[in-house]
């Protein structure tokens, strides 16, 4: 617990420095000094600068954690919707400074590229959490497609929000989930006359 607290404190100091000075202009040495720790300690927790700017996002993009927090007897569609809304609440929490962090990441090539690693890892954990609730393997089509739909909702909302950070992330998410009830979703079908090649 102490190590986790230290990790979060370091990330908070770093994010403040990035916002105030700029991402490229802030050095690891300056972050260590501001956090009142040695440089070697900083590198032990965060081997690179992009990991520091991504740390608050990594906590919010832990899709599997949100799903696992839902009651085991809750209907799965409701659990998925509630998990996404809980993530949206954390995303919109001003204390997490996600808006400022995203502005930095959006114009910084290395953190932006590294963010995709987080998405892939989070997706794999989300698949594992969903598979456990469905009693299926994470590689099962039902699991993969369900996760794909849930994450596509997130990506669509994120694109809307990225274009205008003044929009309320939670409202965008609620609107997106509500629209699913009336949106016809076309599932591709195999034509009857096709033959395997």
Sequence-ordered alpha helix ranges (H) in the chain: 2-21, 28-35, 39-45, 49-60, 63-68, 76-92, 98-106, 109-134, 141-163, 169-179
**pLDDT of 43-88, one tens digit each?**
999 999 999 999 988 888 899 999 999 999 999 999 999 999 999 8
Nearest to 91 by CA among 153, 161, 156: 161
Sign of the dihedral through C-alpha 158, 164, 169, 174: negative
Q: What is the pLDDT of residues 79-105, one digit of tens each?
A: 999 999 999 899 888 888 988 898 899
Domains and CATH numbers, the chain: 1-47 (1.10.10.60), 54-179 (1.10.357.10)
The pair of three-digit structure tokens given for residue 64, joined into one six-digit string: 């599997």
């Amino acid at each position: 617990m102490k190590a986790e607290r230290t990790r979060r404190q370091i990330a908070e100091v770093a994010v403040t420095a990035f916002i105030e000075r700029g991402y490229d202009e802030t050095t690891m040495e300056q972050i260590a000094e501001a956090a009142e720790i040695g440089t070697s300690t900083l590198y032990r927790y965060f081997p690179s600068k992009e990991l520091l700017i991504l740390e608050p996002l990594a906590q919010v993009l832990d899709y599997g954690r949100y799903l696992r927090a839902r009651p085991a007897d809750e209907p799965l569609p409701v659990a998925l919707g509630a998990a996404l809304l809980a993530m949206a609440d954390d995303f919109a929490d001003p204390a997490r400074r996600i808006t400022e962090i995203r502005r930095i990441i959006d114009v910084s090539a290395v953190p932006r590229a590294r963010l995709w690693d987080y998405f892939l890892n989070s997706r794999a954990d989300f698949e594992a959490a969903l598979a456990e609730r469905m009693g299926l393997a994470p590689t099962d089509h039902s699991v993969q497609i369900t996760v794909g739909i849930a994450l596509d909702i997130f990506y669509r909302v994120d694109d809307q929000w990225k274009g205008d950070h003044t929009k309320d992330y939670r409202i965008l998410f609620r609107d997106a989930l509500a629209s699913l009830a009336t949106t016809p979703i076309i599932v591709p079908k195999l034509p009857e006359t096709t033959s395997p090649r």
